[in-house]
Structure 1
Amino acid sequence: MPASATKPLRVAVLADSDTRWKWGALTANRVAPSEPGEPGAAAGRAVRLDGYLLRGRATPTARQLGEVGVRADSLREVTAVEFLRAVREEPYDLLVLSLVGGGVQAMLHGLKRVWEDRPQRPVVVTGYVGVVYEKLADGLLLRHGADLVLANSRQDADRFRAVYEGVGADASSVTEVALPFLGGAAYQGEHDPYTVVFAAQPSVPESRRDRTYLLDRLVQHARRHPEREVLLKLRSKPGEHTTHIEELPYQKLVQRLDPPANFRLVYGNMGEVLDRTDLLVTVSSTAALESLHRRIPTVILTDLGIRESLGNHHFVGSGCLASWDQLDEGHRPVPDAEWVSRQGVAAEGGAYDTAFDTARERIAKLLGRPGGLPPLTPYYTPVTAPGYLPGILARHHLGPDGTPLPGAPAADREPGPVRQIVRRAARGAYRHGVQRVAPVIRRMGEL
């Protein structure tokens, strides 16, 4: 049958932040098979992508969604209960849960409940947005129960399977892929002017002292090298939230400094910024993997130590660790080829282009399974985690069996204009409290 006559694959993505929307939507397009029951690339079949944004503190703004640059056929904001109602009524083939671990676990139980009387259900996929450097066991067990748990590298796939097998859980869902947003032209040499980019992170480091230190060193580097362009790449504007809460935005901290003319703050798509980057510097941002994939000189800072709380311990063995003192003197780390390969980046021989083939084939086989798919079976149940699971479900207005609790937000109609205004005001008040009130209270407590 010609591709034009093939029924579009119906795909839904549920995300709770701008970065997770980007990962989820791009992943959905990467892993969508050409035809149910037949392995193959997604190019031969149209995909209808419906996006759902989980309402919460990090729900992306219109500006953030525009910056991500990923398009959907439909996109709307929902509560967990509204989402469960929607996927019960819509005949989706594939569902991507791009959420924090607790959100994934709640949806797995809610979906199991709403599909319990259905002979057919979608394939459910989940995973991680980037580097997994904390809460490995906790996050993985909260994601257990999805048909596919995607690992962004060979190293992650090995670690994921070890955790599941270590607790006696089925590890067959672990599927090695790669980060879906890698790409762009390989680095060809220095630009004019030579451009240094510091990729900031919302919550790493957390303290004012550490963030001020990094900002001071970046500004000092700009002063030492007036012939260079020095850019501070920011993820969000004040008042916006991304995957993590940012209590001390660099935009506020830089107001107390007098940076030179060759220092600038920049926003926008990371790939477009990397197009003009000669040196990418960060503490532990996933942007480092994007940079390494394009063979751009990349540095993981050691100034604040190599610590699990910073996430830069993930890059031990990468060959990219260095301090600002070393960079000021012209040092350029050389990445370790084996380490880079295990991270699923800078793959030789076009291996990145085939990184999603296994996932596509597995999804195609699941879609073509005679009699449909079995019920979802998360590792956590009221029997295995009676003191943990109910609280996770309750945060999303679900009972211990995945049923919506009494008083859960109605799912049969869109909120009116007054309710929408109240929601926006409440979200703005929350963000104001996080970024302005909370730091003041914390400083007062230290007096």
Structure 2
Amino acid sequence: MPASATKSLRVAVLADSDTRWKWGALTARRLTPAAAEVRLDGYLLRGRATPTARQLEEVGVRADSLREVTGVEFLREMGEAPPDVLVLALVGGGVQAMLHGLRAAWGSGKRPVVVTGYVGVVYEKLTDGLLLRHGADLVLANSRHDADRFRAVYEGVGADASAVTEVALPFLGGAPYTGEHDPYTVVFAAQPSVPDSRRDRTYLLDRLIGHARRHPEREVLLKLRSKPGEHTTHIEELPYQKLAQGKDLPANLRLVYGHMGEVLDRTDLLVTVSSTAALEALHRRIPTAVLTDLGVREVLGNHHFTGSGCLASWDQLDAGHRPVPDEEWVARQGVAADGSYATAFDAARERIAELLDRPGALPPLAPYYTTETAPGYLPGILARHHLGPDGVPLPGAPAADKTPGPVRQIVRRAARGAYRHGVQRVAPVIRRMGEL
């Protein structure tokens, strides 16, 4: 057994939203040996999607420390006290900026093993997102299907593909489905940005209401991701709870929040457009339907489920159809319904142990994007995070106070609320005016 399997490890996670914190923290837990004494330090990157206390509570992942930071503050702290393992749970541009910033902060000295990846299904911007993540020691792929695609992209541009490591989604789990509940429960898993138009979201809500009316013996739940004013990984301009205001909802239809795993505990049919919740349900062998009502399109993400056996329309579901998943497709998607989930992170753990036990310092981070390979692209990404082309913080870059006072906290909350109000209220009005 490697020496790193029994020693104390300090793991840090930098996340920019509630869903990425969930992915990053749970990934960190699964990447560390069970025999190791692990300290988990969490950092929330300040921005539009910084999770609220309620969202963090709903995620339910505990850390030994957790605080909000700016990118520059995080880089400074990592330079002064690097952990053993660092998980970057950020959007692609954020990962790339941190890789360059950390390269500058660490130089050729001792540095941690750096890990990144994706929160769920990768159905858009595959090449762009992957190249922005290149440079980490491990780029995690949540399935065999993704691992093959990731390596093909890296090899296709001449980048080192050895960092690609097959794992699985870290939040799969729960008891397998054993049969119908009383009452039979249908859950629609809402997504903040899919679909994105009022017409389409109203259509889905009306069909859910119609399903509840057709089946008064069933319990129908609309599982919401966030409350108005909160943001997740994606911006939600038209929350379903606002669209539901003024509608005559049947008594057997309820809007619910909470941990998805707890909702799935009582689910008999999971319905969604393309939510990662579908993979959670399939892992537990819960009947799962991916809607085709709005088409099977890349912009919706439901094209990812082509060949899954799960595609269905509300008309079919109203008539009693229960999709049966294709076992081969499920296996390739990392769902691990066959019981192999327990070993899904073994290869990643072994790779991290090898890097931690390597004599001397690890080589400096080497992202594919540099000022030579992408001189018209990279500087803009770095500048958005207040970094120069060399990864060094720009003069005047914001660095948060360690302990902001009450006035600053109030101002910060007000500014974030104003931004979210603009996204959810003002922006849609301006867009509608532009369509006149």
User: Which category of TM-score, normalised to the shorter sequence, fits these structures?
Assistant: over 0.9
CA contact (8 A) 1:295 1:346 kept: no
User: By how many angstroms is 1:423 displaced?
Assistant: 1.1
After TM superposition, give the deviation of residue 8 of structure 1 in Å.
2.2
- What is the aligned partner in structure 1 of residue 17 from structure 2? 17
Alignment of 1:303-314 (within 5 A): 303-314=293-304
- Deviation (angstroms), 1:441: 1.1
Q: Which amino acid aligns with 1:93?
A: D
3-state SS of paired residue (1:405): coil
Which residue in 2 is equivalent to 1:44?
35
In 1, Cα distance between equivalents of 2:400 and 2:271: 45
Equivalent position of 2:97 in the other structure = 106
- Contact 2:309/2:324 (8 A) holds in 1: yes
Give the C-alpha shift of residue 347 in structure 1.
3.5
Q: Indicate the residue corresponding to 1:139 in structure 2.
A: 129
Q: Deviations over 1:57-104 (max 9, x none)?
A: 000000000000000000000000000011112241000000000000
Query: Are positions 1:187 and 2:177 aligned together?
Result: yes
Q: Given the alignment, which residue of 62, 76, 85 partners 1:85?
A: 76
Report the counterpart of residue 126 of structure 1 in structure 2. 116
Could you say which residue in structure 1 is the equivalent of 2:356?
A: 367
- 1:356 aligned to 2:345? yes
The TM-score with structure 2 as length reference comes to 0.98
Other structure's SS at 2:44 match:
strand
Matched residue, 1:96: 87
Tell me the distance in 2 between the aligned counterparts of 1:157 and 1:83: 30
| Partners of 1:303 and 1:184 in 2: CA distance | 30
Aligned position for 1:385: 374
Q: 2:306 aligns with which of 297, 308, 316?
A: 316
1:371 Cα deviation from its structure 2 partner: 1.2
Deviation sequence 1:402-445 (CA, Å, 0-9, x none): 00001111356433322222111110000000001111111111
Distance 1:173 1:117, change over 3 A: closer
CA contact (8 A) 2:93 2:132 kept: yes
TM-score, normalised by the number of residues in structure 1: 0.95
Give the corresponding residue for 1:432. Answer: 421
Letter in 2 for 1:81: V
Q: 2:383 matched to which residue of 1?
A: 394
> What does residue 262 of structure 1 align with?
252
Between the aligned partners of 1:413 and 1:187, the Cα distance in structure 2 is: 47
Residue in 2 that maps onto 1:288: 278
Cα deviation code 1:271-321 (max 9, x no counterpart): 000000000000000000000000000000000000000000000000000
Percent of aligned pairs sharing the same letter: 86
Does the CA-based 8 Å contact 2:382-2:389 persist in structure 1?
Answer: yes
- The C-alpha deviation readout for 1:307-364, integer Å capped at 9, x for no partner, is 000000000000000000000011111100000000111342x311000000000000
SS at match of 2:209: helix
Name the residue aligned to 1:28.
28
> Is the 1:294–1:346 contact (alpha carbons within 8 Å) kept by the matching residues of 2?
no
Q: Which runs of 4+ in 1 moved over 4 A?
A: none
Q: For residue 276 of structure 1, what is the aligned residue in structure 2?
A: 266
* 1:13 counterpart letter in structure 2: V
Is 2:220–2:252's contact at 8 Å kept on the other side of the alignment?
yes
- The answer to whether the 8 A contact 1:85-1:411 is kept is no
Q: Does the 8 A contact of 2:284 with 2:337 survive in 1?
A: no
1:89 is aligned with what amino acid?
Answer: E
Residues 197-208 of structure 1: pairs in structure 2 closer than 5 A: 197-208=187-198
Q: Which residue of 2 aligns with 1:209?
A: 199
The runs of 5 or more residues in structure 1 that have no matched partner are 33-41
Number of residue pairs the alignment of both structures matches: 434
CA distance in 2, matches of 1:206, 1:418: 36
- The CA distance in 2 between the partners of 1:412 and 1:239, in whole Å, is 25
